[in-house]
Amino acid sequence: MLLSALLVVAFGLTGAFVRVPYVAIGPGPTYDTLGDVNGAPVIQISGQQTYPTGGELRMTTVSLNDQITLFGALGLWASGRYALAPREEYFKPGESDEQVQQENVKEFQDSQSNAEVAALRHLGYPIKVLAQDVVAGSPADKVLAAGDRLLTVNGKQVTQEDDVRAALVGTKPGQTVSITFQHGTDAPRTSTLALAPNPDPNTPQGFMGLQPVDRADVPFDVKVSLQDVGGPSAGLMFALAIVDRLTPGELVPGEHVAGTGEIDEKGNVGAIGGISFKVVGAREAGATVFLTPAQNCAEAAAAVPDGLKLVKVTTLDSALTALDDLKAGRPAPSC
């Protein structure tokens, strides 16, 4: 009898205090990118005329519960709102929680930058190309710094980041190329670099050692103010909100629209994770339309709650067209 009692106590203590190597994933909070959070606009544009907006453009998130106990994991799973997954699917072996948080923050910041470029490019604003990163010890490291503006490479004008890569096609290690760049407000200057062997054995062309990135060349500021959110999946909704704020009229007058999707500088929308939970969170927040990356359509359709219409998108332009169709009462592409 005593042994049985001790076993029950031991099991209870184990279930209550011993953590299991799983995480629980479920619906997270949503944020209206046209609205305010904690009294501050999610997107603030200063130095440029903006226009009134209506309705909602909600970005969606997932919640991830880490360091859970056996009883905690069972309770979350039994609720029907959460799924359990091995911890290594979200945390690399040996990676600390702080490192994961830093990666998520960087991805979130990159999504903001990409959204700004995609939105302003769509609106016809000029684009500049910067050196986002310079590899230590590389040829570029001798003359360039992160943030320098790239004007020409190998005698070819640079107007978008792809121009930098194209200018190096056909080059070889040891070959010299010229690069014209501008540091801050300094006058542009030209330097000559001797290309190094490429670290990628499958890339025979010479290696300069910088990562170019497109950025908007505008005399106004776009700032996203949202704390404690990470990852790249809010890019599409940020881009739509920027377009809405900078153009007359309303994208979603009186409508409750939510969505998700990673976005690149050219406006291409990519797949994201956790969409089966995001559609649930969106509907609970009152959304009736959900902008869905085309690659996620099948997964979203399998989990979509009643009352939520899935609209398939592949680019920023396709999302804007779909919203215009819905506003005019026309059918929009669906999953």
Among candidate residues 53, 6, 63, 5, the one with its CA nearest the CA of residue 29:
63
Active site residue 233: yes
| Residue 127, H or E segment | strand 127-134
Among candidate residues 260, 329, 323, 236, the one with its CA nearest the CA of residue 54:
323
List the structure tokens of 83. Answer: 């799924």
User: b/e per residue, 234-244, with b = 16+ CB within 10 A?
Assistant: bbbbbbbbbbb
List the structure tokens of 62. Answer: 């997932």
What is the pairing mode between strands 256-259 and 56-65? parallel
Measure the N-to-C terminal CA separation of the chain; round to a whole number of Å: 60
Q: What φ, ψ does residue 222 adopt, rounded to 5°?
A: -120, 125
Cβ–Cβ < 8 Å for 34, 244: yes
List the structure tokens of 136. Answer: 């230590």
Using CA atoms, how far apart are residues 158 and 67, in angstroms rounded to an integer? 48
Using CA atoms, how far apart are residues 122 and 135, in angstroms rounded to an integer? 31
Active site residue 327: no
Q: Which of 111, 113, 233, 318 is catalytic?
A: 233
- The CB density around residue 183, as the number of other CB atoms within 10 Å, is 15
- The CB density around residue 227, as the number of other CB atoms within 10 Å, is 7
Using CA atoms, how far apart are residues 43 and 246, in angstroms rounded to an integer? 11
The dihedral sign for the CA sequence 112, 115, 117, 120: negative
Q: Which of 111, 128, 278, 318 is catalytic?
A: 278
Q: Which residues are catalytic, by number?
A: 233, 278
